[in-house]
Amino acid sequence: MIAFFAGLAAGLLHVFSGPDHLAAIAPLALSEPTSRGSRGLRVEGWKTGFQWGVGHTAGVVLIATLLLLLKDQLPLGAISAYSERIVGLSLIAVGGWGIWKATRAVITPHSHAGASFLMGTIHGLAGSSHLFGVLPALAFSARIDSFLYLAAFGIGALAGMTAFAAGIGTIAIRFGNFRGILYASSAAALLIGGVWLVGR
């Protein structure tokens, strides 16, 4: 169980310590449809966060599998470096899209599950996922512990991003300022994407 709880903690830490993760999902979550429940208006952005988490887990599992099976044949360093650049470009794209969306007279919500899944997968393939997700899993002597760590890492990332996406939507509803928060989160995505490209 130590492997499981270590993986869970690492997955949560990985999500909330990465400004690129939060910047990538915020504009998409704020553009999700809303629904009216017994407690009033609520945003469905948690679905975007959930899809990001699923994609991220898929990317981490793919890298872990390649590392375990083909570590001597594949240029994993080059794959990671290219993934990092793609993360920067995708953040700039999401930020630009979010600012365009915020400038429209009426913000029409749409589901962005496909884009969120793709963003999560790209982030899962990028370098920091190896540090938190893959390398510790390889350190366990028992294969079942490695599997438990990876599974828990995925669950932690999934839970963390789902909670963040739901939280930012709730804040936007509570303050009644979707447009302002969408501008701010999109500008953050542009800035972080630019830093990501320059710093890599």
Tally the domains of the chain.
1
pLDDT of amino acid 46: 78
Nearby residues of 184 by Cβ (< 8 Å), 6 or more positions away: none
Residues of the chain falling short of pLDDT 50: 37-42
pLDDT of amino acid 37: 45
pLDDT of amino acid 75: 67
Reference 112, options 166, 177, 45, 191; nearest CA is 45
For residue 127, what are the domain limits?
A: 2-199
Residue 104 burial (C-beta neighbours within 10 Å; 0-12, 13-18, 19+): exposed
pLDDT of amino acid 95: 83
| Cβ atoms 133, 11 nearer than 8 A | yes
b/e per residue 165-200 (b: at least 16 CB within 10 A)? bbebbeebbeeeebeebbbbbbbbbbebbeebbeee
pLDDT of amino acid 200: 59
